[in-house]
Structure 1
Amino acid sequence: MDVVTIGETMTLFTPNEEGPLRHARSFSMKFGGAESNVAIGLSRLGHKSRWISRIGEDEFGDAMLSFIRGEGVDVSYVTRDPHSPTGVFFKEFRRLNDTRVYYYRKDSAASKMTADLLREAAIEDAKYLHITGITPALSKTCRLALDKAIGIAKENGTKIVFDPNIRLKLWGDKSEARSFITRYASKSDMVLPGLSEAEFLFGEGSPEQLVDHFHELGVEIVMMKLGKEGSLISGPLSQKKHVKGFFVERVVDPVGAGDAFAAGVLSGLLDGFSLEEAARRGNAMGAMATMVNGDAEGLPDRADLALFMNGNSDDVTR
């Protein structure tokens, strides 16, 4: 197995028109979750990925499992909860460059993941374990499950990749969020923070200074997302390099771009790329994800990715 991810995925309802959600009358049903987005992105690029979670024994859970399995992701370690629902969220395309997200995930099946449900066999054969700061924010039992996953990874030489993905509405308490996010970062081999997340954790500073704070926690590799500016990478010797981003004329849906970046970076590393080359693939994946409505719908296969990265500008393929 190349990459294992663990975390909640929810049923996503997207309005079929722009404007305030109160005026929406029809919706499209999709699925979204940071960890499953990464697993799908990797699978589309030909890598072996596994997603671990807990979902409800309901129609939404059935549809979700079918969709993610259909994308080639291993879902054999997903468990079902007959008493708790699959989480739901809504997107609102209020106006251009103003996308909002509303979550209905309290007491969801995923929030009731426990360490007892996690099997060592689910992680021990993986090259990478991808985790985010969303999972420990869901519940105390999720934190224990994540701690167990990290322990299994370390025992088996699996590299740990951590995306802070800070959701203050889930944490509630900012100091608690800082404490847990820095704790999980310190246990990771690679961290993929956004600039605003690094500022939340460490205060103001240049991207280079903020990257150093992660190294001080013991993180070997830091790849900081800088939006349209690309990313800043810093390796074992703290040699920092800015990797230019890809131009996107119109952002359709920014949600999921960070997950696409993570998938691109991991794909590059699995292909034997340097950190700079992997970051460039991550930048391209992140840019492509913003051009399509949906969390996972814009994730490309290798052919589409190559066309985009090579600057193909043909508007129509005949």
Structure 2
Amino acid sequence: MVIATGPCNAPGVVDVVALGESMVTFLPSRPGRLADVPSFDRGIGGAESNTACVLAAAGHSARWVSRVGADGFGDHLLEAIGGYGVDVSYVRRDPDRPTGVYFRTAGDRATDAHEVAYYRAGSAASAMTAADVDLEAVRAGRVLHLSGITAALSPGCLDLMRELTAPRPGRPLVSFDVNHRPGLWRDARGPEVLLELARGADLVFVGDDEAREAWGLHDARAVREALPEPGIVVVKQGKGGAVAFAKDTDGLPREDTGGTATFVPALDVEVVAAVGAGDAFAAGFLSATLRGLPVRDRLRHGHLVAAAALTVPGDLAAPPARDRIDRLAALDDTAWGRLRLGPGWTQTDTADAPGDGNGDADRAEEEVRTP
């Protein structure tokens, strides 16, 4: 897929612009109910800013556009996200509305053994509109990354999302992560709106569980049939893997398949927390897309960067070094299927005993290549 770059003299052009709300997140100091946890560690969380931070850490130029309160939590978000190397100069400060925050328990958000308490109603980010966001700065990227969360925040945010996904000459490649959050929508229109926005994007990420819940679609091919317009549709299948439907090289999807389907199985990962894995997957896929890698390698990069997030307790994890992730993404199918990744695998060259499920990627690669 070709990524539109816009005018060569456009000011402040970057690889990726991500627009959306980020919140200060409070992680519990110990397991237990929110009512019982005595203290919390502060972090940051936001689908779009998470993706921007990971891309910046991977060596890409990234910009985050949003709105935060003129408060200490807003200061923290700007400092923390900017600390990853993300351009935060187009984030506006709102003197009248607060920065959103949320608390969660230590349980896995993919199960019922967790609690999440959001305090984001009336937040500064919910006041974003097409009239008060610098649209030139938003569009000055090779990729514009958005998610369905923003559309649910307010009518003004929805109008902004419709403006950014509308067809227009020279727009950047629009990446859209569906991120269906039923609790955020004030009425039943959420699934319909998400489908509308996804059809306006060039690249779509959606979980098969989201597609079932939002649209009643029960397999990946049905998702592609419901989204014929995007150049690539990536359907994430949890522990099973992910499949990407890509249009043919002539730019037209084949009627029988909706484009070439590429499936890559997920890795065997010792999960610490599932928070942020979807954002990390999008970052890995986008990084490989920006580098012009084949679709199979884009999916593998997505899985590897997601594995980095899965093996840490917070929303963000440093991605593997580029030479390392390239080496792992190039493994043959048998070697790929035997990788075992555990906590710390991105930071250390020291491995645990082979076969115990905790060895780092270098040892795993050595193990699968040796008879």
2:67–2:125 CA contact under 8 A, matched in 1: yes
The structural deviation recorded for 1:104 is: 0.8
The one of 219, 224, 247 equivalent to 2:235 is: 224
- CA distance in 2 between counterparts of 1:48 and 1:33 reads 18
Partner residue, 1:77: 90
Q: Radius of gyration: which is bigger?
A: 2
In the alignment, which residue of structure 1 is the partner of 2:184?
A: 170
Report the Cα distance in structure 2 between the residues aligned to 1:206 and 1:313, rounded to whole angstroms: 40
SS of residue paired to 1:193: strand
SS at match of 1:223: strand
List per-residue Cα deviations over 1:233-266 (Å, max 9, x = no partner). Answer: 11113111211111112x1110111100000000
Give the aligned partner of residue 111 of structure 1: 126
Shift of 1:305: 4.1
Task: Show the counterpart of 1:314.
Answer: 351
- The reply on whether 1:265 has 2:296 as its aligned counterpart is no
Q: Quick check: which one's helix share is greater?
A: 1
Distance (Å, rounded) in 1 between the aligned partners of 2:37 and 2:319 = 26
Q: CA deviation at 1:101?
A: 2.1
Aligned to 2:136: 121
Deviates more, 1:80-89 or 1:195-204: 195-204
Describe how 1:44-123 pairs up with structure 2 within 5 A: 44-94=57-107, 98-123=113-138
1:286 aligns with 2:286: no
Structure 2 CA distance for aligned equivalents of residues 313 and 224 of structure 1: 34
Matches within 5 A, 1:145-294: 145-151=160-166, 154-174=168-188, 176-215=189-228, 218-236=229-247, 237=253, 238-249=259-270, 251-294=271-314
Contact 2:205 2:234 in 1 (8 A): yes
CA drift at 1:298: 5.1
User: What amino acid sits opposite 2:232 in the alignment?
Assistant: I
Alpha-carbon spacing, 1:66–1:208, altered in 2? closer, same or farther (3 Å): same
Q: CA deviation at 1:95?
A: 7.0
The equivalent of 2:250 in structure 1 is none
CA RMSD of superposed structures (Å) = 2.1
Query: 1:41 & 1:81 partners in 2: Cα distance?
Result: 26
Q: Is the 8 A contact 1:269 1:278 kept in 2?
A: yes
Letter in 2 for 1:50: R
Structure 1, gaps ≥5 residues long = none
Matched, 1:36 2:36: no
Distance 1:25 1:305 in 2: 39
**Matched letter for residue 165 of structure 1:** N
Instruction: List per-residue Cα deviations over 1:122-161 (Å, max 9, x = no partner).
Output: 133211111100001000111122233335x833231111
Mapped partners of 1:69, 1:314: distance in 2: 33
Name the structure, 1 or 2, with higher relative contact order (CA <8 Å, separation 6+): 1
Report the alpha carbon displacement of residue 16 of structure 1 after superposing the two structures with TM: 0.9
Change (3 A) 1:221 1:306: closer
| Cα 1:95/1:292, change in 2 over 3 Å | closer
Q: What percentage of residue pairs aligned between the two structures are identical?
A: 38
* Range with greater deviation from structure 2 (295-304 or 191-200): 295-304
> Which whole-Å CA distance do the structure 2 matches of 1:246 and 1:95 have between them?
18
Comparing 8-17 with 281-290, greater Cα deviation is found at: 281-290
Letter in structure 2 aligned against 1:135: T
CA distance in 2, matches of 1:280, 1:313: 23
**Cα offsets for 1:39-71 (capped at 9, x unmatched):** 001001100111000000000100110111111
Judge conservation of contact 1:44–1:301 (CA < 8 Å) in 2: no
Q: Is the 8 A contact 1:19 1:95 kept in 2?
A: no
Contact 1:290/1:298 (<8 A) preserved: no
Separation in 2, partners of 1:17, 1:26: 8
Separation in structure 2 between the aligned mates of residue 183 and residue 219 of structure 1, nearest angstrom: 12
SS for the counterpart of 2:351 is coil
Once the two structures are superposed, what CA deviation does each residue of 1:150-207 show, in whole Å capped at 9, x if it has no partner? 35x8332311111110111110333x01111011011101110000111123314222
What is the CA distance between 1:300 and its match in structure 2? Answer: 4.2
| Aligned counterpart, 1:7 | 20
Aligned length: 312
CA distance in 2, matches of 1:308, 1:109: 41
Q: Which residue identity lines up with residue 114 of structure 1 in the other structure?
A: T
- Partners of 1:177 and 1:196 in 2: how far apart? 15
- TM-score, normalised with respect to structure 2: 0.79
Structure 2 stretches of 5 or more lacking a match?
1-13, 248-252, 254-258, 332-338, 340-348, 353-358, 361-371
